[in-house]
Amino acid sequence: MSTLTAVLIIAASVAALLAAGVLLRARMGTGGDTRSLKRRFGAEYDHTLERHGGDSESAHRDLRERAERYGGIRPLPLEPTVREHYTAQWTTIQERFVDSPRQAVADADDLLTRIAATRGFPDADRLDEQLAALSVHHPDHVEGLRAVRRAVHAESSSTEASREALVRARALFEDLTAAGRPTGTQAVRPRSAPGRNLGQLLKPKGSGA
């Protein structure tokens, strides 16, 4: 074997090892990025992956861009009187659902966007930005706002679909009205009508117990 041949073989072997190392690091990096994004975004990670048709690279880029753009938002606290006002409005929405499901989800949509703006998220006239920001800070429950928005804008929506949307939206409402409260104050939790839980309250008239 000539010296030149030996050198070429060695060079090819080194190049192959370097390429394998780069590929392995890339795969490990991707896996670490996936785990990190899943931990941070929870349910929103799966929603985003689905929205991108299973394309993890596009989903990861989307989530990273949102985190970079909106992660620095520091939600403003709610004063106790403001929280009580919002809680009373939510209770009214739940009670109104029995007679007018579609109006109730429309009111829930409006109330959630107003609360989000009050907490320092983008205003209601920038709904896409507001949703993106909420998905960073409330990733497990932001889908509740999307659900009521879909119910509002659907050409036809069943009472059951509206009920499910409102139940999901309540989790986001509780997040927005409970998180970041001023020191020394007691959060007021949303209340259903006396003696009736949320599921009972949102059942349409004529349904069984």
Look up the pTM and report it.
0.71
Cβ neighbours for 14, distance < 8 A, ≥ 6 positions apart: none
Output the tens digit of pLDDT for each of the chain's 209 residues: 666 565 455 656 645 555 444 443 434 344 568 899 999 999 999 999 999 999 999 999 999 999 999 999 999 999 999 999 999 999 999 999 999 999 999 999 999 999 999 999 999 889 899 999 999 999 999 999 999 999 998 887 789 999 999 999 999 999 999 855 433 333 333 344 433 445 555 654 555 44
Tell the residue number behind the tokens 């507001």, with chain if given. 130
The span from the CA of 148 to the CA of 98, in Å, is 16
Nearest-10 crossing angle of helices 80-97, 159-178: 170
The span from the CA of 91 to the CA of 110, in Å, is 14
